[in-house]
Structure 1
Amino acid sequence: MEKLIQEFSLGLFFWQAVLFIGLLFLLRKFAWKPILNAVNEREEGIRNALASAEEAKKEMQNLQADNEKLIKEARAEREAMLKDAREIKAQMIEDAKGDAKAEADKMISQAQAAIEAERKSAIADIKSQVASLSLEIAEKVVKHELSDKDKQLGLVEEMLSKATLN
């Protein structure tokens, strides 16, 4: 350090100072300004990116809340649809049961009417056959009884004696 102080030259110092100041001026004009501008632009870009990221985060939270809301609404709507479907199913089953019961009652009443008609027809047929048989038997008995003239006269007298005149 002493050697520097002993060999100190004012002219050399002046020119070194002028060159240094010139170099600083040139660096400031052509290097520092663009570097600082680039750093400031980068810093501004980072701030904008962080702000955008924050907005995106908030938007994602809002979208997530909206999605959850939509999912809840969809679940509620699904439950309502399932409930309606169950009610429709129960109503259809009830209607089918009612229709089947009505059809069964109709068939039973038709069968009962058919049975009643057949019974009446059978009774009428039996009465007809009984009447026919009774007539045949009565005819045979009367023929047999009235084949003899004495028996005929006896029967007429017996009926006349039983008959009362008004």
Structure 2
Amino acid sequence: MEKLVNEFSAGLFFWQIILFALLLWLLHKFAWKPILKAVEQREEGIRSALAAAEEAKKEMQNVTADSEKLLQEARAEREAMLKEARDIKDKMVADAKSQAQAEGEKIIAQAQQSIEGEKKAAIADIKAQVAELSVEIAEKVLREQLSNKDKQLKLVDQLVGDIKLR
């Protein structure tokens, strides 16, 4: 968790929010309206079925026990239709949410991969610069040390003195 806080990037967070908002807008624009329209049509069909069932109920009050059985079947069908409509609506909403979640996770994973690639490139560039600077410093030090014959002899004596014979 501390790593996330230390490596927090406001720019990346901003773009992720923008992309998530865009995704929600696209879902609202293209997915929610057709889903709600289908649900409303289904509800209208259910309402008309309910109205027909109520009329049938009034007509069946004067009929025998068989007509009572038919009325009970109409009620059961109405409840099944309502339950089916609710189940379809809940499934559509859950599918849209899971799809949005998956897209969000995909965008985050792509962003993390991009950040990792940029980080590796920056580290490689820094290593190259450090190596180049080290060579330049060593070259300058050696030039300075070897520019004077006395210094050269002194350096050779010092190096020979540092060598340990086995």
Taking structure 1 as the reference length, the TM-score comes to 0.54
In the other structure, the counterpart of 1:90 is 90
- Contiguous gaps of at least 5 residues in structure 1: 1-58
- Contiguous gaps of at least 5 residues in structure 2: 1-59
Residue identity in the other structure for 2:126: I
Report the Cα distance in structure 1 between the residues aligned to 2:90 and 2:61, rounded to whole angstroms: 44
In the other structure, the counterpart of 1:113 is 113
In structure 2, the residue corresponding to 1:62 is in which secondary structure? coil
Taking structure 2 as the reference length, the TM-score comes to 0.54
What is the deviation of 1:102?
A: 2.3
Say if 1:124 and 1:165 are closer, same or farther in 2 by CA, change over 3 A: farther
In the other structure, the counterpart of 2:41 is none
Report the Cα distance in structure 1 between the residues aligned to 2:85 and 2:61, rounded to whole angstroms: 36
Larger radius of gyration: 1
Say if 1:157 and 1:60 are closer, same or farther in 2 by CA, change over 3 A: closer
Report the Cα distance in structure 1 between the residues aligned to 2:80 and 2:131, rounded to whole angstroms: 75
Say if 1:60 and 1:150 are closer, same or farther in 2 by CA, change over 3 A: closer
What is the count of residue pairs matched by the alignment? 107
In the other structure, the counterpart of 2:63 is 62
In the other structure, the counterpart of 1:156 is 156
Say if 1:164 and 1:92 are closer, same or farther in 2 by CA, change over 3 A: farther
Q: Which has the higher contact order (CA 8 A, sep 6+)?
A: 2
Describe how 1:73-88 pairs up with structure 2 within 5 A: 73-88=73-88
1:8-51 superposed Cα distances (whole Å, 9 cap, x missing partner): xxxxxxxxxxxxxxxxxxxxxxxxxxxxxxxxxxxxxxxxxxxx
